[in-house]
Structure 1
């Protein structure tokens, strides 16, 4: 069956191409795109014609940066992102305990540093409301965990537990853990604990949750940015069950610093083994290992992002990976054909990221490579120039600078850096390719929120007139390209994903609001009417 979508605004994924009126699909592929008459002629007699009433038809959104199972698990957690103070947080936890009297653990997600007295959460704050079972709460950026005393005991954290490389167990003056785990300490202890108590059925549900919410938001491909052994097994079970995934996923194997150079290199070798096994196994067209992920630093809200100059409180944190420890690991990964994805939020971390790319170029020689740097929240102009020269993709997340959550970010920097963050416009002017994602669950996963902030620099969480430097705003075509074509290229997707291209896979989204003509407030409340994967209806309102 051939289907023609007509009377639409058809965006092909390329900001430099014209808008069209119609697109035809057949057998899961795009047949034609262009003016209504030409497309109808190509489709031929007997084609089904659907009048789109002026809605937007675009390539399915490509989520450039996500954590699939974590997002799916966060859907089940106590939601704390909108809590303005400690009392609201503890009220939510008390209510969760009342509703789940037989629960073995209480999990929460999204708490803001601005809601905690002095930005310093403690176990005692949680013990007052839930003292009897473990409580584990992800910060909004998922770079810190806040836990109660029962959770510290369940994790085996004592006064003698050492800090892991790249992480900190925050302690009081007597050396006792306070219940606040930073960076790799959260990964080592909180994440490991959650993995241990979750069952395969739980993990399967988490992945199902993530696919469902993304399809509802028009996403038809995604880059999973911190794959581990447990996540790998979960994706494989889904493929074994269904023979496919709901949409294609490119994954990046998470490399954590161990303090042992040989073990770090062995972890790259494991990524190579997994990549090759997945490529030769069932469902390879749905799931692939694209590269490796380095988390070079933390986040500005917790003062763990690596900055050249001190934070307002005088701190100058070290990077999680030093240039010296990361270089041989990155060079081996690059030599083995693994794409580098480098988390760098602070200006010093972004310099390290570019130094690693240059090191790979020097040691391994010229070849086709698409290194990507994730986040780039506070950067120098020199970093932007270097990124352009090196062909680096800037993977950025508008939802991370929603004005409603920026107060703590601004306060922690405390100087002119607070007003120069997230410089999308400078990256565009320098010719750097930008891929847009959400980094869910560290921020809302809704594509409409991400697009709205990109176009307006206003808040999606608390709609109003407040902006964070509106000169950064994207034009509609540029934002949509970053959410489709560029996000697909960054994740190594091929076969027309991220484009509406004759012969390419018919992964499409239909929005009820046209961002080229609609008022921005309409856009915030836009709805996905249809999501198609390989021409099949995967979601319909």
Structure 2
């Protein structure tokens, strides 16, 4: 669609907010010109697209993702469907046999549940691929499982120290078992694998992520893991696409804990430099991201009480280390995103934000806490009182991937998992994303989990705490308007109203008046970003 072209979309279900729809929307060039139930006379000669009752929604905004990681994951061995250890081993062996020249085998999305209590070790992978390195990235991306050849390639031996904030699993003799946790996986393993990439392969991965997002109806995304690899890749993409990315991108610079306050603060200064330089409508840096703790599945989340196995790790960032960084970032006007999954981690995160507010004084802020899978009622209220955004991912509550999550907690804490409605009742802003590639990236299955608490992959499984399910209009608003707000885009995108960018998607059906499973069957037939069409609208008629 060229600038200045006017198109009338009529006879549809135009989502304008929870419980509200219109039938007509007019796009004039890059912007929305009219929303209502009529066609103003000024547009009498415009092109008309008859929606025939189909839904027209704001473009989805993924409030928390990892774009290059998503694109890269699409080329890795998918282990999420593995039903048991033997099935996982068969998939790895088949991938190795299919590409005998590949220098290494990389898999993704494996779960602890199908292992049925067996501890992942290098020997289990050596049984099927002994001659080449094998790297398996867990579904939550916070653990890595490697074979003996991979340990050798990484340079990990009995004397290798644990990195700050992570651990190399060892047996009783001190020998590495092949499991890497937190910064050992997110640092040692990830850094090595990234070092094997070229600019060309990274660019291809990023473009693949853009294509898949556009096809799925995502028109903007917030990348929660920028580093020295990601920023140049996004800038190359901006040049490659003529100064206009296929989707809008905002990012947060990942601050990793070092052994000095100055080393931590230097990363804040780097984020501020990038924020000041990258401020456009297509690519911007909003702030910093800090991993306060790990994840529940591998017992690395910071919890107030021990896990079922008796382990009780502390946070990756304790309060004393976190406060100087959060205070400096807040003083610099950076948006702070704090990964906090465990109930103790959210306590630490909120305490750090409170101290920053006290130190720097009152002003408008838009800080965020990511995930919040377990959180006390008291901290839900604290978060709302501080005006902190709750950034959560419905697909992480999918019952299919909950077995290990529930087993690791093993007590009443599983009854308060992913309590989305509590945040909105407390008055907090709730933004939805996917955290791809830790979970499927498509927004409609994400909405299915949000509104049913059932599995988007195996819908016959029992719902996971169905009392926390949301209404469809509310879930859509969290994935569009609230997600856009979390990225500072509310004056550009996220809702369908005149004057905003024409970022929208058209589905092949209405707004799911029938069975919820329609959300799993629905397809995007058109997506627009600033009025430019993406996927073809072959099922729509126009004149």
Same fold (TM over 0.5): yes
Gaps of 5+ in 1: none
**Match in the other structure for 1:522:** 518
Offset, 1:128: 1.1
Shift in Å at residue 349 of structure 1? 0.3
Aligned to 1:362: 358
Alpha-carbon shift at residue 360 of structure 1 (Å): 1.3
Q: Please list every run of at least 4 consecutive aligned residues from structure 1 whose deviation after the TM superposition is greater than 4 angstroms.
A: none
CA 338–119 in structure 1, closer or farther in 2 if over 3 Å, else same: farther
Partner of 1:253: 253
Partner of 2:397: 401
Q: Distance in 2 between matches of 1:90 and 1:185?
A: 23
Contact 2:54 2:511 survives alignment (8 Å): no
2:307 is the alignment partner of 1:311: yes
- Asked if structure 2 preserves the Cα contact closer than 8 Å seen for 1:339 and 1:369, the reply is yes
d(CA) in 1 for partners of 2:150, 2:191: 12
Q: CA separation in 2, counterparts of 1:82 and 1:31?
A: 45
> 1:4·1:43 contact (CA, 8 Å) conserved in 2?
no
Residue 514 of structure 1 and its aligned partner are, at CA, apart by: 3.0
TM-score by length of 2: 0.96
Alignment of 1:115-264 (within 5 A): 115-118=114-117, 120-242=119-241, 243-264=243-264
1:448 aligned onto 2:450: no
1:512–1:527 contact (8 Å) kept in structure 2? yes
Deviations 1:98-135 (A, max 9, x none): 11010011110000011225252111111111111111
1:371 counterpart (367, 373, 379): 367
What's 1:539 paired with? 535
Residue 43 of structure 1: CA displacement? 4.4
Shift of 1:425: 1.8
- Relative distance call for 1:86 and 1:5 in structure 2 (3 A) is same
Across the aligned residues of Structure 1 and Structure 2, the Cα RMSD in angstroms comes to: 1.2
Which residue of the other structure, out of 24, 28, 33, is the alignment partner of 1:22? Answer: 24
Report the more deviating stretch, 505-514 or 209-218.
Answer: 505-514
Structure 1 position 42, deviation (Å): 5.2
**Distance (Å, rounded) in 2 between the aligned partners of 1:516 and 1:429:** 25
> Is residue 45 of structure 1 aligned with residue 44 of structure 2?
yes
CA contact (8 A) 2:32 2:502 kept: yes
How far apart, CA to CA, are the structure 2 residues paired with 1:513 and 1:405? Answer: 29
Bigger mean CA offset, 461-470 vs 385-394: 461-470
Distance 2:170 2:116 in 1: 17
Residue 2 of structure 1 pairs with residue 6 of structure 2: yes
- Give CA-to-partner distance per residue, 1:203-236, whole Å, 9 cap, x none: 0111011111111110000000011100111111
Q: 1:302, CA displacement in angstroms?
A: 0.5
Q: What is the alpha-carbon distance in structure 2 between the residues aligned to residue 467 and residue 299 of structure 1?
A: 22
- Equivalence for 1:277: 277
Instruction: Give CA deviations for 1:34-56 in whole Å, capped at 9, x if unaligned.
Output: 11x2xx11542311111101111
C-alpha distance in structure 1 between counterparts of 2:274 and 2:177, whole Å: 38
In structure 2, the partner of 1:474 is: 470
How many Å apart are 1:285 and its aligned residue?
A: 2.0
Output the CA distance in 2 between the equivalents of 1:58 and 1:521: 18
Structure 1 residue aligned with 2:282: 286
Q: What TM-score, normalized to structure 1? A: 0.96
Task: Please tell me whether the aligned partners of residues 25 and 506 of structure 1 are also in contact (alpha carbons under 8 angstroms).
Answer: yes
Distance, in Å, in 2 between the alignment partners of 1:56 and 1:26 is: 20
Distance 1:372 1:277 in 2: 22
- Whether contact under 8 Å (2:308, 2:410) holds in the other structure is yes
**Which structure 2 segments of 5+ residues have no match?**
538-543
Give the conservation status (yes or no) of the 8 Å contact 1:57–1:510: yes
Partner of 2:328: 332
Compared CA separation, residues 339 and 493, structure 1 to 2 (3 A): same
3-state DSSP of counterpart to 1:31: strand
